[in-house]
Every structure is written in structure tokens, then in C-alpha cells.
Amino acid sequence: MAKTKTAYVCTECGADYSKWQGQCTACQAWNTVSEVRGVSASKSGARGARFEGFAGSLSEIQSLDDVSLAEQPRISTGMQEFDRVLGGGLVEGSAVLMGGHPGAGKSTLLLQAVCHLAASVSALYVTGEESLQQVAMRAKRLGLPTKDLKMLSETSVERLMQVAESEKPRILVVDSIQVMHMADIESAPGSVSQVRESAAYLTRFAKQTGTILFLVGHVTKDGSLAGPKVLEHMIDCSILLEGSSDSRYRTLRGIKNRFGAVNELGVFAMLEQGLKEVKNPSAIFLNRGEEAAPGSVVMVVWEGTRPMLVEIQALVDMAQGGYPRRVAVGLDQNRLAMLLAVLHRHGGMHVSDQDVFVNVVGGVKVAETSADLALLAAIVSSFRDRALPQDLVIFGEVGLSGEIRPVPSGQERIYEAAKHGFTRALVPKANAPRKDIEGMKVIPVTKLSDALSALEDL
């Protein structure tokens, strides 16, 4: 007879402890260790048999040179932006975790994809949060083909596995992993142990049967995926659907991908017919006014495997209180403070008594350092109340000593700007193309002081 086992697990990294403690020694997080109750097998080896073959079918030891390097076949979702984030399409036996805030469109996007895929491959959509009638009403409202898609309303992993073994679907969608539960785990659905064990069981099934598994996950207040950190280590691909409630655009970003590039970005527009892919994201993020305004400049960021043009805006105004404010939306606030110090030291511009607000238009989040030079150019433009030319594009990393450092794929960024009608580019000297680009004047710079002088001459 099985007996109950109590353990203390960190909700951030999944580390186990024999007793409760305030700080997790593995990830250094505070107040993340919570009590979980599970079941320990009465026979030795029972638990090991349950998880054997987690990485796929069991095989004998072999030389690395003998491993087959045949290309994994891909299954297209019917959406180029979705395929781009997945690395080119779906791979058999892969486990994909999709996260996002409530209302972002996770269920809508997956429903659209599997409804079209069901016409060519067998698909099973398992809903644990919504009734079958709610899903059917959404599919009818979106005008989706529903004849071939099989539906199941279930929260028990054991019952789900019985149906999956009987139906043998090639694509399995579980919405969501937080409501699934296993009978031999005593904790409530959504707890660390339930999410971990349920995800492990489903992932093992996908690996051994070649089923494409989609898991829908909730996110916390700070935007990270809810549940134990080990959940992201189990799956092959982790994608995040982002978008503010006041914007109709949604961005699908790859966080982890064993079959493609990470940080790949797909853009969708939320319409009455569901999520529609935006094949040219630069066009929607460059919807600028006819007249040039101070503090506005266009930069080229690199998202995954493609360049994308976005507009960055800055507002510099006299501080009204005792402490000047530094607010960054879509950019790292700590990097903004650092760049302001570099601007003062090597650019001779004193803004310590000014409020500085910066924003990336369209809700895009820029994490790479190629936005440094464009950010400082927008701040200088707003501070001097002088608009920059609308045909100017800027990118480059700014170092602490005031040097302008090159960024990856610099020439591809310039070509992308030229395709959108830009005629001037302020870039690091190392990124300047060797051959002239027709219709594009490239201004190479090596120091921040040189860049500020070039902006004065424009």
C-alpha cells in the first residue's frame, strides 16, 4: 500500500528540501518554498518505471557518429508567423508550452491552428477551463472548419491518456496544464507537484508516441510562466503571447526552442475573425505622422532571424519635484540610467535636473543593446527641441567609455531600412557596408561625440 510523502519544493526552480526554510539555497529566492504532498511507491522501481523513456523510445548505447542526422519533417500550422516562431513548423514528438496573460488570445490562436490542421492530420483538443459549448461558439464566431477536430472536456491526466491511446492523435492540445491533475498526487490542481507530474506524464507520452503536444500555461503578475521552473526544462519549445488590453496587436515570442532560433518574434492582429498574422511588422510599427516631431527616431532591432523597424520616442522636461524621474516603456530602465550617465560624461549634456520618459511605439519590448544610439539620439532631439529627419534610421551599441560598438547583422539592418524608403543611416563604423547601397547614405561613427556632431549637421 502506498504511503503519503511530504516534501518542500521551491516554486521557482523546483529544488526539494526535507523541511521548510525561508530562502531557497539553489536559486536564492525568498518565500518560494512551499509544502507539497505526493505519494511514494510501495515497491522499489515503480516510480522509475513510470518515468522511463522520458526523452523518447528506449535505445541501446551507440556512438555519436552513428546517430542519424536525418532532417526532422515539419508540419505547417498554416500561419507563417506561427511557423517562424516554432522554427519552421511543428516537429513530431515535440512538446510546446504556450503562455500569456488572460485574454491575450492563447486559446484562440491554438484553436485556429488545430482547426485547419485537423483537415490533414488527426487532432484532439482537450479543454479543462471552458465547456465544449464555449469552444464551439468561439469556433463558429471565427468561422473555423470544425468537422474534423475532436474535442474532449477533461482534467484528469489518467482519463486523458486513455482517450489519447485509443484515438492516437498526431496533435494534442491541453488547455491548460494548471487545471490538470493526477489521482496519486494529493495536492490541489495548479500546485507545484501537480503541474510538474502532469507535464512530465504528458511529455513522456508525446516523446514515445511521436505526438505533437501543446500545453497552455498561465503567467504570473510579472509575466513569467506560472508553476515550477522545471516545467520549462521539460518541454522543447516555450513561447509567450503578449499584448496590452488597449492594443489590437499581439506578439508571439520564442523563449526556448530546441528546433529553431530563440527570441523569434511573430506579430498578429486581433480582429473579429480571430488572430490574423502580420507579415510585415515594420509597417505597423512605423505609422508616423506627416510632420517630424522632436524626440522621435526609427531604429532597427533584430528579432530572431529577421530585422524589424520600430519607432522610439523620448520626452525630456524640467523636473517638477525634487527627484527627476526616469521612465522606460519597452526598454530596460537600468540601461536608460546608465546611458544618461554616458551622455553626460562623454556627450557634455547635463540632464540630471530633467525628467526623462522613453517609449517604444507599438508595445514592442526591446532587449538588445543595438537601441542605445537611437535612444540617446531621441533624448538629445527632445532636449534640444529639434526634430530629426524622418528618412533617418539609427542603431548601435554605446559603451561606457563613449565608443560606438558594432551590432550583429548590421548590413542586413541597413538593407531592411532601405527597403522601407529610408535614405540615411547613422551606424557604427564597423557595420558600414563596403559597397554603396543605392539610395542610402550611410554615416559611420566610432564615438558618441562624433554621433552628436553628425546629428547637428543633419
Spatial separation of the C-alpha atoms in residues 339 and 221, rounded to whole Å:
28
Residue 105 assigned as binding residue: yes
Specify whether 97 is located in the same domain as 205. yes
Asked whether residue 420 carries a pLDDT value surpassing 70, the answer given is: yes
Going 198 to 96 to 269 to 331, the CA torsion angle's sign is: positive
* CATH code for position 143: 3.40.50.300
Specify whether 230 is located in the same domain as 253. yes
**DSSP at 181:** B
Specify whether 301 is located in the same domain as 437. yes
Specify whether 115 is located in the same domain as 204. yes
Specify whether 320 is located in the same domain as 449. yes
Average pLDDT over residues 101-112: 92
Residue 439 assigned as binding residue: no
Specify whether 294 is located in the same domain as 406. yes
Inside any domain, residue 42:
no
- The domain total for the chain is 3
* CATH code for position 322: 3.30.230.10
Mean pLDDT, the chain, integer? 88
pLDDT digits (tens, 9 = 90+) for 40-96: 444 444 445 455 555 655 567 888 888 777 777 899 999 999 999 999 999 999 999
Residue 103 assigned as binding residue: yes
Residue spans of beta strands (DSSP E) within 211-305: 212-217, 237-242, 249-257, 265-271, 274-277, 296-303
Last residue of a domain, which of 279, 304, 339? 279
Residue 104 assigned as binding residue: yes
- Percent with pLDDT over 70 in the chain: 91
Specify whether 297 is located in the same domain as 271. no
Specify whether 303 is located in the same domain as 265. no
pLDDT digits (tens, 9 = 90+) for 274-327: 999 988 888 777 766 678 899 999 999 998 888 999 999 999 999 987 789 999
Inside any domain, residue 239:
yes
Residue 428 assigned as binding residue: no
Domain range enclosing 263: 75-279
Inside any domain, residue 291:
yes
Asked whether 451 and 377 are in contact (CB, 8 A), the reply is: yes
Spatial separation of the C-alpha atoms in residues 89 and 295, rounded to whole Å:
40
**Residue 112 burial by CB count (10 A; 0-12/13-18/19+): exposed, middle or buried?**
buried
Q: Residue 223: its pLDDT value, please?
A: 66
Specify whether 235 is located in the same domain as 193. yes
Amino acid at 123: A
Inside any domain, residue 144:
yes
Residue 19 assigned as binding residue: no
Residue 420 assigned as binding residue: no
Specify whether 96 is located in the same domain as 223. yes
Inside any domain, residue 130:
yes
